[in-house]
Amino acid sequence: MPITVTAPRGALTPSGEREILPRLTAALIEVSGVTGNAFFTPLVGGTVHVLDPRDVYAGGANRPVVMVELKLPNIGLPTVEARAAFIAAATDIVAELAIPGRDRDDIWVNILNAEDGAWGIGGRAYTGDALIAATAEAAQDADASARPGLLR
């Protein structure tokens, strides 16, 4: 699940530039309810793009907007409430990692969904049902491993 952060240089603190992706990753995993899932967790990654402030615009004018874009399969964050929870968490994370005085209105979070079957991992196109099955299987494997001596 790629997360892309685009920020003008100086909008985030130096440590914020390093911490933002791990913290957004943790927020997505938590909101998705799959903390510790061996299949889902490694699929969350992304990039941080720090640009010259002169190269960031909003409304056709130069403006110090920090943008967080999350791409998910069509099953990801399936409810309005789940999407709102991630947007709120991501906005809070950016605000915490930004320089003091940052305007929250200059933090934008967008969630994009891929069509069913348009989510590829290692050359394999996954449907929503296949992703759900793989995530559930990883959860069952973890549960069985946590209880040694029980037969699967």
What pLDDT score does 87 carry? Answer: 98
Give residue 89's pLDDT band: very low, low, confident or very high (50, 70, 90). Answer: very high
Residue 7: pLDDT band with limits 50, 70, 90: very high
Q: What is the mean pLDDT of residues 1-17?
A: 97
Q: What is the three-class DSSP state of 30?
A: helix
* Residue 109 · residue 90 · CB < 8 Å: yes
**Contacts with 54 (C-beta within 8 Å, 6 or more apart), sequence order:** 62
Which pLDDT score is estimated for 146? 53
**At the top level of CATH, which class does the domain 2-146 belong to?**
alpha beta
State the pLDDT at residue 79: 92
DSSP per-residue letters across 116-130: TT-EEETTEEEPHHH
The whole-model pTM stands at 0.85
- Quick check: 41 pLDDT over 70? yes
The secondary element (H helix, E strand) that includes residue 6 is strand 2-8
Sorted by where each begins, the domain ranges of the chain are 2-146
- Residue pointed to by tokens 């069952």: 140
* Average pLDDT score, the chain: 89
pLDDT in tens, 101-152: 989 999 999 999 988 888 888 898 888 888 888 888 877 776 556 544 433 3
What gap in Å lies between CA 130 and CA 116, rounded to an integer? 10
Mean pLDDT for the stretch of residues 49-70: 96
> Average pLDDT of 40-58?
94
**pLDDT for the residue numbered 147:** 45
The SS3 of residue 61 is strand
Q: Which two tokens stand for residue 30?
A: 């938590």
Q: What percent of the chain stands above pLDDT 70? A: 92
Q: In the prediction, which pLDDT does 103 show?
A: 93
Contacts (Cβ under 8 Å, ≥6 apart) of 46: 2, 3, 4, 5, 21, 24, 25
Residue with tokens 């997505």: 28
The closest alpha carbon to 83, from 131, 27, 16, 2, belongs to: 27
pLDDT, mean of residues 55-65: 95
C-beta separation of 120 from 73 below 8 A: no
